[in-house]
Amino acid sequence: MNPLLIACDFDGTITQRDTLHVIVEEFGDLALWDEIEPRLRSGAMNVEQALQAEFDSVRVDVADVHRVVAEHAPVRPGFRDFVEWATAAGHQVLVCSNGFRSVIEPVLAGQGLDLELVANDARFDRSGTTIIWDDRGTRCELCDRPCKRGPMREYANGRRIAMIGDGISDRCGSGIADIVFARAGLAEDLAAQGREFFPFNDFHDVRAGFARLEDDA
């Protein structure tokens, strides 16, 4: 198999739970999500607006954020082994997330991994949370926002793309990927559209999917 760019979502994909939801659940107003999710899925609210609305209520020190994420959002089984296999095979793993660097980097470091990362960021403080939006260039032609498509195209640099994801923020990126691994909401969306994808529960499943692709090559 020729070298690929493997664009991997973080929240709910690399981690077993969405770290953003875990943080809001512990330190913010969890009831907000019941109002936000239907509007997000319908397109009445975009991802950036949803994140801002959720985190307006979060007032916490970053050390407490790291503690809660470590306790309640563990890494999905097989991730480190998968990255080591992908790197040895000549593929590049890009973590492409709508989440926060200040949350993601400690999780990756805890796995002994130093990966290319595209993400937003947040400054956590007892006085409030400030979201720092990542500059992703021009707006996407599909969703009219700076989504994951731009960074994926840039990092791919002509290579074929595999994407691994689970949610709304992965919809656009999956549309330009040659190979898609999906779970949860993304899998439901792709199935409803009749699009092909590999389902997965953990990264052992993802590795097995790539093994089947290698056998067919």
Residue 34 has pLDDT above 90, yes or no: no
Residue 36 has pLDDT above 90, yes or no: no
Backbone angles phi, psi at 58, to 5 degrees: -95, 120
pLDDT 10s digits, 114-128: 999 999 999 999 998
Q: How far apart are CA 9 and CA 27, in angstroms?
A: 23
Q: How far is CA 94 from the centre of its chain?
A: 10
Residue 177 has pLDDT above 70, yes or no: yes
Position 8 confidence tier, pLDDT thresholds 50, 70, 90: very high
Give yes or no for a contact between 83 and 13, defined as CB atoms under 8 angstroms apart: no
Residue 111 has pLDDT above 80, yes or no: yes
Predicted pLDDT of residue 74: 97
Residue 217 has pLDDT above 70, yes or no: no
Position 45 confidence tier, pLDDT thresholds 50, 70, 90: confident
How much is the mean pLDDT over the chain?
92
User: In the predicted model, what is the mean pLDDT of residues 125-134?
Assistant: 90
Q: How far apart are CA 36 and CA 34, in angstroms?
A: 6
96 residue type, one letter: C
Residue 186 has pLDDT above 70, yes or no: yes
Residue 139 has pLDDT above 90, yes or no: no
Measuring CA to CA, how many Å separate 50 from each of 12, 114, 187?
A: 17, 29, 21
Residues above pLDDT 90, as percent of the chain:
72
Position 44 confidence tier, pLDDT thresholds 50, 70, 90: confident
Predicted pLDDT of residue 59: 93
Predicted pLDDT of residue 10: 98
Residue 143 has pLDDT above 80, yes or no: no
Predicted pLDDT of residue 182: 98
Position 31 confidence tier, pLDDT thresholds 50, 70, 90: confident
pLDDT 10s digits, 75-103: 999 999 999 999 999 999 999 998 999 99
Predicted pLDDT of residue 24: 92
Give the pairing of strands 130-132 and 116-123: antiparallel
